[in-house]
Each structure stands twice: as C-alpha cells, then as structure tokens.
Copies of this chain bind each other. A is one copy, B any other.
Amino acid sequence: MMKDRIQLDKQGRLRHLLTIEGLRREMLVELLDTAESFAEVTERSVKKVPLLRGKTIVNLFFENSTRTRTTFELAAKRLSADVININATTSATSKGETLLDTLHTLEAMHCDMFVVRHPDSGAAHFIARHAASHVSVINAGDGRHAHPTQALLDMFTIRRHKHDFHPLIVAIVGDVLHSRVARSQIHALSTLGVQEIRVIAPRTLVPPEPASLGVHVYHDLERGLRNVDVVIMLRLQYERMQGALLPSEHEYYRLFGLTEERLACARDDVLVMHPGPINRGVEIASSVADGPHSLILQQVTHGTAVRMAVMSHAMRTGESS
C-alpha cells in the first residue's frame, strides 16, 4: 500500500506509474479505456494529438533498450511533447555526478516527465520519491521488480480479444523468478480478477512463495497449458544460461518451448503473447510466433496507445493538483 500511495496524488489520481501492485481495478480499467481512444489515433493518417504540446519528456535509460525507448519516444511525439533521449549508461553519472544530482538538474530544466529504465530493482521508486512536485515518473523496467506499461499493454490486448477477465485461465511460461514483466502481469491479472493464474517454469525459476502471489505452479508445460485461455511466454535471458539455473538452450526448448503440438493442449481459442524480442526456437517455435493464435505484433501496436494513455493521465494530474 505504501507503493500505491506514492503513485497517486491526493485526489487519488495517477501521478507516477511505478508498479501495478497496489493500483485499484478502477484505475487499471480507466487507463485501458483511455488507451482505446489513443489506439484509434495511431490508426489515423495524421497520428498526432496536441495534448502534451510544450511538455518535455525525458527518456532516462540506465540500461540499453532501443525497442522500449522507441515506443516511449513515439508515444510522446504522438502526444506532441518534446522528447529528450538520455543514454545514462554513458553520461552524467559517468562524470561522478550522483543520480539525484542528475535528476534534480533535469527537474531544474523544467522537464515534466522521466521515463526511467534501470538495472536495479526499486530505482523507479527511488527516483519518484525524490522527484520534484511537478515531475511524473514512469517506470520503463527496473531490475527484476516491475514493468508496468508492459503489463498494461498485455491486459489491453487480452481485453480486446476476451472482453471479460473473470472466466480466464492465464499461464505465464518461463523464467518467472527473474522477470519484471511477469511480476507486473501477475499483479495486473490478479487485480482485474481472472479466474486462475498459472506459472509454468523449471523448478529453479519459480518465484518464492507463489501462493502469496495467488498463482498455481506447474513444472510440466503440457499439463500447465490444459484449458488455458491465454499463454504468455517470457523471453529467455541468455545471461541466466551462464549460471546453473538453466539447462542448455536446446534442452530448454525441448522442455518449455511452445510448439504447435503443445499449444493444442490449451483451449481452441487460446491467445499466445510474448513481450518481445522473441528468441525463435528457444522459448517459442516460429510456427507459433507467426501462427493464428499469436498476438505478439498486436501487443507492440497496443504498446504505443497504452503509453500515450499513461503519459496523458500522469501529466493531467500533474497540472491540476
């Protein structure tokens, strides 16, 4: 609940988006509803609205991610904001400046929003806690902690196809232990009231105390997929291979790779999702990634609309509070 409070202003409106944890169902639904209207904008010939004209949004990336940076940059530009890209792995702090001095300097330049990507869990909260009152912070992924806009765009994609969350059985497959995406998805699915959340993973990659997260754990992919409405594949991080946590890539695919054959265990109208970038032939077969159940590219499309929604909500609050 602490985490909830820092994200909202006194009127209970979104000021920062740091984590899905603690956000009320109504807030998530409101964000998804706003994203619907922006999804329509991004399909127009002129994909631009003047909503954030004269606002300055800083992409402050302490971890490289061209893909994520690009989606936030596009969302900001389509809202007519000015965007500054800062690759913080090579700058500022490299001169020995502290993180907080870097932040306060950007605030003093009258920047309005920081989109933060950071390798350390909790970095986005840390930044939000120290941010000036006129600044909004959006977490674009921090360590193993959270990636809330990814979870929101996944919920948006599910809602577009399934309409009602309550009857759904959703399986998340892969390295759930280290995944900020999975953590945010579990909180979102749980808040939106799906019937059941399953985690399908090798024993070494299951999060501790799954019961407290409200998830059911499976170590066998085929059994875990039975009756599933939505299957969310996680990206296998090659770094993990180095340690003893994972078998070889080949062995992983044999046990946990999503093939057409295995997908047949799920419901006929199952949705296949993946946050990307995908490793073809590692966590997912190409025929599934490109197949009729796959929503992987739709997720990307919805990502822009969802980020526009988050930005516009957080900024509006900033103005009137």
Contact = CB atoms under 8 A, between A and B. Distances in A.
B74 A56 contact: yes
A73 to B, nearest CB: 6
Contacts of A278: 97, 101
Nearest to A85: B85
Contact of A280 (B98, B104, B319): B98
A53 B42 contact: no
A110 B46 contact: no
A70 B83 CA distance: 10
How many subunits of this chain does the assembly comprise? Answer: 3
Interface stretch (A118-126, A192-200, A222-230, A298-306): A298-306
A74 B86 CA distance: 12
A300 B70 contact: no
Contacts of A211: none
A105 interface: yes
Contact of A54 (B45, B66, B303): B45
B42 A101 contact: no
Nearest to A305: B110
Given A78-B82, A108-B300, A109-B304, 5 more contacts: A48-B53, A56-B74, A67-B92, A70-B84, A70-B106
12 contacts: A44-B54, A47-B56, A64-B91, A67-B92, A74-B109, A78-B82, A92-B277, A96-B238, A107-B297, A108-B297, A108-B300, A109-B301
